[in-house]
Each structure stands twice: as C-alpha cells, then as structure tokens.
Amino acid sequence: MIRFDIVTLFPELFGPHMASGVTRRAFDSRQVQVRLWPLRDFADGPYRRVDDRPFGGGPGMVMLAQPLQRALEAVHAERGDLPAVVHFTPTGRTLTQAQVQEMAAGSGAVLLCGRYEGVDQRFLDRHVTQEVSLGDYVLSGGELPALVLLDAVARLQPGVLPAPSHEQDSFSDGLLEAPAYTRPEQWVTPAGALPVPPVLLSGHHAQIAAWRRGQSLVLTAKRRPDLIAAARAAGRLDEADERVLRQFAPDDTL
C-alpha cells in the first residue's frame, strides 16, 4: 500500500482523474491511497490567507510558510511517520521513470502543490526532501504534476495493466518504445493502402523482438541521443545493438 498526502489549494482537481481509466483500479483497490489536505483549512483569519507579497518587491504572490507547516503537522499526526516531502517546481530535478519506479516501490510521500510565484524558501529548506519538475516549461501550479506522478505510480501497481505491459514501456530499459500497429493489416486511405510491417505478421517471435529492438534503438538515436549515450555508458547495448546503430549512422556520429 502506498499513501500520498496531497497538500493543495485545489483538492477538487483530483477526484475526476482518480475515478477514470485503468489507474482507477489502483485507487479503488486502495493499492494507492490518496488523502487530500486543503491548504485553506490551515490558514488564519477571516480571509484564510495562504499567500503574501514577496519581500524585496516583484510580481506575484508567495505562499506563506505557516499554513504549509500546519498542514504538514496534520499529515504527520495522522500518518504517524515522516515520509518524503515532494515539492513540484520548475526549478526541481526532472521526473524520470526510475524515480517513478522507486516511488511505486515505497510507502508514499507528501506531495506539496505550490501555486503562484513560489513558496517561502524557509519552509522548503526546513521540510522538503525532493524538488521535482516535469520539464522545462512553467505551469500555474503543482496540481497537474502531482496528478502526473499519481498516474505514473498507479499504473505500475500489480493488476492495473495486463501482466508484463510496463516492462516494455519507454524508458523502463532506458530506450524509447518501438511503434505499435493493429488491424487492419492494410489500412486503405485516399493516399493509398498502408501495410503493417510484414515481420509483425510473421509469427516469428525472435525476429519480431529483434525488429522491435532495432526500431527502439533508431527512434531513440533520432529523438534522444542522450539516452543512447547513457545506455552505452551503462553497458546496456550489445554488439547487435551497435550494428543497428552503425547502420542508422554509418559515419559513427552516434
């Protein structure tokens, strides 16, 4: 059982996602438990303030440390343990499938969804154990990143996907996944009939596996040469893989 405690100003964003699609099974079965903590419940005064203007000036608002601290205390009192505290921010380290797998094997975390221009750094320094970014772009808050992490963790739970599905996921072995095809064998379009790559219809499992590996390698080399370099450095490419890559780039630019 994994438990995520989510501190957010927008708890209503989470319900619909958890009630839909294959990942719903992980939430319904309580393999992944989610407890929402509306941040406003921990704020003071008639206006239940959760943010204020930044010292030193500048645009936007900064989230106050005190309500966040109270929310965290409530989480600790209910959970009884001190899990990782994740803060979603574009200044964090980019989320990877390896991190998702680690999360999926653990007991959960507090997910802190920031809003506005940021969170008082003193709170982050005291309580946050990991700062996570989804990528090099800026969202209006941490709720979507939290949902992304929940989804990625939920689909790895036993029984959510058909048996070995996620072993073939992009990134699980450090490469992008090969393309997939389904019926019809010939898709007739105004531009002509488009066949499925014949090897996939051959019933020859070793050849199909080799073709998929080749597709994976070439796609990764084209789109994410950094992943090829990492796979090579980790000794995850064999002689056959190197042959495929040399064919793709005979001048050895890989």
Q: Which residues are known catalytic residues?
A: 90, 117, 155, 169
Which span (55-63, 88-96, 160-168, 172-180) binds ligand ADE, by CB under 6 A?
Answer: 88-96
Q: Is 142 in the site for ligand ADE (CB under 6 A)?
A: yes
Q: Treating both helix axes as pointing N-terminal to C-terminal, what angle do 239-248 and 205-223 enclose, rounded to 10 degrees?
A: 50
Q: What is the DSSP letter of 14?
A: T
Amino acid found at 220: T
Tally of CB atoms within 10 A around 82: 12
Per CB under 6 A, the list member of 23, 89, 157, 216 interacting with ligand ADE is: 89
Tally of CB atoms within 10 A around 49: 14
H-run or E-run covering 119? none
Amino acid found at 18: M
In the complex with ligand ADE, the residue whose CB is nearer, 134 or 237, is: 134
Per CB under 6 A, the list member of 13, 65, 84, 139 interacting with ligand ADE is: 139
Q: Is 188 in the site for ligand ADE (CB under 6 A)?
A: no
Q: What is the DSSP letter of 141?
A: B
Q: Is 55 in the site for ligand ADE (CB under 6 A)?
A: no
Q: Is 137 in the site for ligand ADE (CB under 6 A)?
A: yes
208: tokens are: 């199909």
Which span (9-17, 39-47, 75-83, 138-146) binds ligand ADE, by CB under 6 A?
Answer: 138-146
How many CA atoms are closer than 13 Å to the CA of 216, on its beta-carbon side?
23
Q: At its nearest, how many Å lie between ligand ADE and the CB of residue 50? A: 16
Asked whether the beta carbons of 146 and 122 are under 8 A apart, the reply is: no
Per CB under 6 A, the list member of 29, 97, 130, 133 interacting with ligand ADE is: 133
d(CA 111, CA 32): 14
In the complex with ligand ADE, the residue whose CB is nearer, 7 or 217, is: 7
Q: Where along the sequence are the contacts to ligand ADE (CB under 6 A)? A: 88-90, 133-135, 137-139, 142, 145
